[in-house]
Amino acid sequence: MLSRDDVFAELGIGPLWRLREDPSATPLAAPDSPLTTWDALTEAVAHCTACKLSATRTQGVLGVGDRHADWLVVGEAPGADEDAQGEPFVGQAGKLLDAMLAAIDLQRGSNVYLTNVLKSRPPGNRDPEPDEIAACRPYLLAQMTYHPAYLLRNLPDKARAWEDLCLARRTFNSLPPES
């Protein structure tokens, strides 16, 4: 089974990033990626056949919420309810997540964006496999990162990315060690 850290390592990212969307130049994957707008990303996930999960899913589940949010919640993968409804965190886990968000004065759709590492449901809710995580990686990165090549051209966002990185470092340093 993959641990949380394994998943982050597969993705090549740290554990916490803040979501930003600059409407004039978003979202950003690699400079040569076609995933440069939310419409393109939505279309790509809807028709994605990059891994074997496309044969068994009902639909791709991209994400839901505020695209300008400071808070990004990344789950593992859509379950049965999410696969049927096309939205992340709609089952029992979603109710719990909503309650947890409410406890810190947040609600889905307002300053929070919800997505998953995998955009397609693994059959029987099994754990994501490394090839599936790799196939979905461009989608998650397009949803959440400024690409360094973009930052070279945009100094205000470079400063924001630096703030995000410092926040991620501080937050990570304050986490208790995993037992």
> Could you tell me which stretch among 25-33, 63-71, 87-95, 166-174 binds ligand URA (CB under 6 A)?
87-95
Q: What's the DSSP call for residue 127?
A: P
Nearest 5 degrees, angle CA 11-CA 16-CA 22?
90
Asked if 88 touches ligand URA (CB under 6 A), the answer is yes
Which two three-digit tokens encode residue 137? 């990686």
Q: How far is the CB of 33 from ligand URA (least distance, A)?
A: 24
Between 128 and 138, name the residue whose CB sits nearer to ligand URA: 128
Between 27 and 75, name the residue whose CB sits nearer to ligand URA: 75
Whole-angstrom distance, CA of residue 14 vs CA of residue 67? 20
Q: How far is the CB of 59 from ligand URA (least distance, A)?
A: 13
Q: Are 133 and 117 in contact (CB under 8 A)?
A: yes
- 161 contact partners, CB below 8 Å, separation of at least 6: 146, 151
- Give, for 73, the enclosing helix (H) or strand (E): strand 71-75
> Could you tell me which stretch among 3-11, 75-83, 103-111, 164-172 binds ligand URA (CB under 6 A)?
75-83
In the complex, which residues of this chain contact ligand URA (CB under 6 A)? 75-79, 82, 88-89, 93, 116
